[in-house]
Amino acid sequence: MKLPERDKASGRWLRATNNEQYRGRQYVRLKVLDVDYFKEPSGQTKRFDLCHCECGNLCKVNLCRLYASFKPTKSCGCYCREVCYNG
């Protein structure tokens, strides 16, 4: 687990979480393999999950989109292709 750090731009504390609690969780078709942090050019730090989809693809998803109450991420995009093109 990473220790909390301060964001250089805003001076706020970055959230420290136990990343182990997300590994192995299943969200519809996505299974979380690893949690990674990404710093944008603007200075914001975002957390992304490396996920394995049931179709076999690997994808990176923003963690908050996995368990969002409004339009959560369900797959790597295969679900939309199945619904849109197969009727």
pLDDT at 22: 77
- Could you tell me which residues come within 8 angstroms of residue 19 by beta carbon, excluding any fewer than 6 positions away? 1, 2, 35
pLDDT at 53: 93
Residue ranges covered by each domain of the chain: 19-86
pLDDT at 19: 67
Instruction: State the pLDDT confidence band at 2, using cuts at 50, 70 and 90.
Output: very low
Single pTM value for the model: 0.67
pLDDT tens-place string over residues 38-67 = 788 888 888 888 899 999 999 989 888 887
Q: Check: CB of residue 15 under 8 Å from CB of residue 1.
A: no
| Secondary element (H or E) of residue 39 | strand 30-39
Average pLDDT over residues 22-50: 85
